[in-house]
A and B are shown apart, each in its own frame.
Chain A
Amino acid sequence: MFRAALLAAAPVAATALPAAAGNVFVTNEKGNTVSVFDSATWKVIAEFPAGNRPRGITIAPDGSELYVCASDDDLVRVFDPRTFEEMHTLPSGPDPELFVLHPSGNPLYIANEDDNLVTVVDTETHAVLAEVPVGVEPEGMAISPDARVVINTSETTNMAHFIDAETYEIVHNVLVDQRPRFAAFTEDGTKLYVSAEIGGTVSVIDMTAEPPAIVRKIGFEVPGVLPEWLQPVGIAITSDAARVFVALGPANRVAVIDGATDEVVDYLLVGQRVWQMAFTPDQSHLITTNGNSNDVSIIDVAALDVIRSVQVGQQPWGVAVAPD
């Protein structure tokens, strides 16, 4: 089925070369592909092969390179976001799932779940710069806006590890709830949000405290939904930090949090098993991957309304949007 999609897509890619800005890239974990659609029209442009079990996905700040964790290939595949051709691969260590790019676009920090390591890879020379031992089953990755601190969350150790971006030493650890999945900074770097999938909470860490410490744990409650289904995973924060969105996995909802008070103000019903999220470049829309309904939901950020869904490949997992 995806062959047909590829054939249909190829002429478009070859002849028209759409501007990459605003294009949305979704990894399809089971389909072994990346779906591409236009965030102006929400029309699917292409679906291209992306290796085995593609999960984490991110794009260079200048939009020149698309990085995909091909988990079952034990490497990161790098694609041209305009032609969808594979340019090269990067060493990642086994079973890469999530990573984060330095704000400059280099290096790439990758969580290796099997080896209790964070691997730092130079995106230009493709060399491994460092391997940082962390807790058991490293997963979530974030980097502070000033690029001084890299955060890794370890799912069985249940910590956020603070790694000095220059020395690659762990300088601080914060114990959070069970199975921390994802970490995200506010753009001013004063707050760090860490989701705990099995704990069912999001920890808010004050980065201005010395040392950084949890100031609040956000819990979730939806009438008619079993508490154990409220599993926070992906986090997306608007650049003014006014809104924090948290994907609640099998609860099929995205929680909307007031960034000033850290109170939940709304729950938006999206597709099934909502996992990761990304904003369009102007932050007018938020795109959520829905693994069990094979689609993505589009949220109008100002209206806090789910405006449509777009069918993608099999079991969408991660999402990245090309910058302006």
Chain B
Amino acid sequence: MRGERMAVAPGGWSCLFDLCLRWRGVLCALLTAAATLPAAAQEVRTAVLRIEYPSLLPLSRIDLPVPDLGLAGAQLATQDNTTTGGFLGQSYDTVALSVPPEDAQEAFRGGLDRGIRLFVVMARTPELLALADAAPPDALLFNATDGDRALRSEECRANLLHVAPSDAMRADALTQFLVWKKWTDWALIEGSNPADRALAEAYRASAAKFGAEIVAERVFEDTGGSRVSDSGHVLVQRQLPVFTQDLPAHDVVLAADATDYFAGYLPYNLWSPAPVAGSAGLRPLTWAPTHESWGATQMQSRFEKLAGRPMREEDYQTWLALRVIGEAVTRTGSADPGKIRAYALGDDFALAAFKGQPVSFRPWNGQLRQPILLATGRMTVSVSPQEGFLHQVTSLDTLGLDRPESACTAFDQ
């Protein structure tokens, strides 16, 4: 990956060769479109800022990193917005930046210097908060990938909207399905890294919320090392049954492995025949290449034609963030971040997102409401919220932090 990483020039605004090529493709398309359409009255300029964290390879080679992760989704959204904008005299220009965490601020400033005020950010909590706090008052940021609960509660920021679902939304989506199945006795296996612990906490809260019982908890220690070794399955097949041997009776094993180092090994390797859910087995996802309902097939084929690979969650989420911007621009006729924010948080905002019902924002913490897919990697099994989980505002608010549960006050005025 490192060799393919976008290099940061002194201004912070150069990028990886092949990504530049891809991106230039979009810009060329924009220029061509501009030549055949009436002069655009408005140009909507956005940046996708992707922070690259050092990471090990994933457990499954199906999940191997792709250099345009998230950026391809942004490219598709820019094309979609451009097509619509063509009928309204609006044009869209999106630049992409991928930098290591230490260069985040410099890259952000570079965007600001170019006059960009709308940013879709793929980053973790520390960098997200630092960027939101460093942003000028007329800038608006979209969190495309971070599920941290605190960002939707005590650490919320008025200039940071969350398109990525919180860990709590994902956990609740899965829990509703397991409760619907009456699989309410869980064994919880969590990783030892802070992110794994936070995810396990989301599952504990969800179990308490919907009446599931965690009958046992176990920590799978991260001892480091490489993820996969030749014939490594031999050892896995012997170790995991022993690790799970004396669990009390359970319907399902919940895996909380945000760092992706053990959950993928659990299915079929437990002592019991119980199904695995959470970080492996049945997973709560915003998007899966298996999703076909509500017109999703068209989205999949458009994306695959563009990117030459299946669409991942990160691509869906950057697509969604830029579509939120596009929808607000379409309806308000303005590219002003303040107006976009007000419209997105208002009662009139609704966006079709291939999930069977409109997505909208929770005005108390800036979280996008959205249905969550439950998928195995081969099939989409179900979509939450599940039937029968009711809410006085919208059934989507049965997922994640509801207004009384959020300590966020930044959105009050």
Contacts and interface: CB of A to CB of B under 8 A. Distances in A.
Contacts of B87: 135, 157, 159, 161, 170, 173
B376 interface: no
B298 A157 contact: no
Interface stretch (B21-29, B59-67, B282-290, B349-357): B349-357
Contact of B330 (A175, A197, A198, A200): A175
A139 to B, nearest CB: 8
B301 A199 contact: no
B84 A159 contact: yes
B209 interface: no
A156 B83 CA distance: 10
A226 to B, nearest CB: 6
A102 B365 CA distance: 51
Interface in B210-246: none
B125 interface: no
A226 B83 contact: no
Given A156-B352, A226-B395, A116 B357 contact: no
A266 interface: no
A30 to B, nearest CB: 12
Q: Which of A94, A136, A179, A228 has the most chain B CB atoms closer than 10 A to its own CB? A: A136
A3 to B, nearest CB: 27
B394 interface: yes
Interface string A183-195: 0000000000000
Interface in A103-141: 113-114, 116, 135-137
Interface residues of A, number: 27
Contacts of B395: 226, 228
Nearest to B85: A157
B115 interface: no
Contacts of B330: 158, 175
Contacts of A136: 80, 83-84
A137 B84 CA distance: 11
B19 to A, nearest CB: 24
Interface string B289-321: 000000101100110010000000000000000
Contacts of A198: 350, 352, 356-358
A114 B84 contact: no
Contact of B298 (A114, A135, A161): A114
Nearest to B80: A136
A226 B80 CA distance: 30
B2 to A, nearest CB: 36
Contact of A156 (B80, B301, B356): B80
Contacts of B302: 114
A244 B92 CA distance: 39
Given A159-B84, A199-B358, A137 B350 contact: no
A149 B164 CA distance: 42
Given A159-B87, A228-B395, A178 B301 contact: no
Contacts of B352: 155-156, 158, 178-179, 197-199
A38 interface: no
A228 B298 contact: no
B358 A113 contact: no
B394 A137 contact: no
Interface string B372-413: 000000000000000000000011000000000000000000
A114 B358 CA distance: 21
A95 interface: yes
B295 A155 contact: yes
Q: Which of B84, B298, B358, B394 has the most chain A CB atoms closer than 10 A to its own CB? A: B298
Nearest to B353: A198
B357 A157 contact: no
Contacts of A137: 295, 298
Q: Which of B84, B394, B395 has the most chain A CB atoms closer than 10 A to its own CB? A: B84
A73 to B, nearest CB: 15
Contacts of A161: 87
A226 B390 CA distance: 9
Nearest to B387: A226
Nearest to A161: B87
B298 A95 contact: yes
Contact of B83 (A113, A116, A179): A116
Contacts of A113: 295, 298
A178 B84 contact: no
A178 B350 contact: yes
Q: Which of B88, B331, B357 has the most chain A CB atoms closer than 10 A to its own CB? A: B357
Contacts of A175: 88, 330-331
A198 B298 CA distance: 16
Interface in B74-119: 80, 83-84, 87-88
Given A155-B352, A158-B330, A175-B330, A228 B358 contact: yes
Contacts of A178: 350-352, 358
A114 B301 contact: yes
A28 to B, nearest CB: 18
A274 B83 CA distance: 31
Given A114-B301, A198-B352, A157 B83 contact: yes
B295 A179 contact: yes
B214 to A, nearest CB: 31
A135 B326 CA distance: 14
A195 to B, nearest CB: 13
B253 to A, nearest CB: 33
Interface string A143-164: 0000000000001111101000
Interface in B306-351: 330-331, 350-351
Contacts of B84: 135-136, 156-159
A95 B302 CA distance: 12
A135 B88 CA distance: 11
Contacts of B298: 95, 113-114, 137
A157 B88 CA distance: 11
Q: Which of A113, A179, A198 has the most chain B CB atoms closer than 10 A to its own CB? A: A198
Nearest to A157: B84
Nearest to B350: A178
Nearest to A196: B352
Given A179-B295, A199-B358, A95 B301 contact: yes
10 contacts: A113-B298, A114-B298, A135-B84, A136-B83, A158-B352, A159-B84, A175-B88, A175-B330, A178-B350, A198-B358
Given A158-B352, A200-B358, A228-B394, 16 more contacts: A113-B298, A114-B302, A135-B87, A156-B80, A157-B80, A158-B84, A158-B330, A173-B87, A173-B88, A177-B350, A178-B352, A178-B358, A198-B356, A198-B357, A199-B352, A228-B356
Interface of A: 94-95, 113-114, 116, 135-137, 155-159, 161, 170, 173, 175, 177-179, 197-200, 226-228
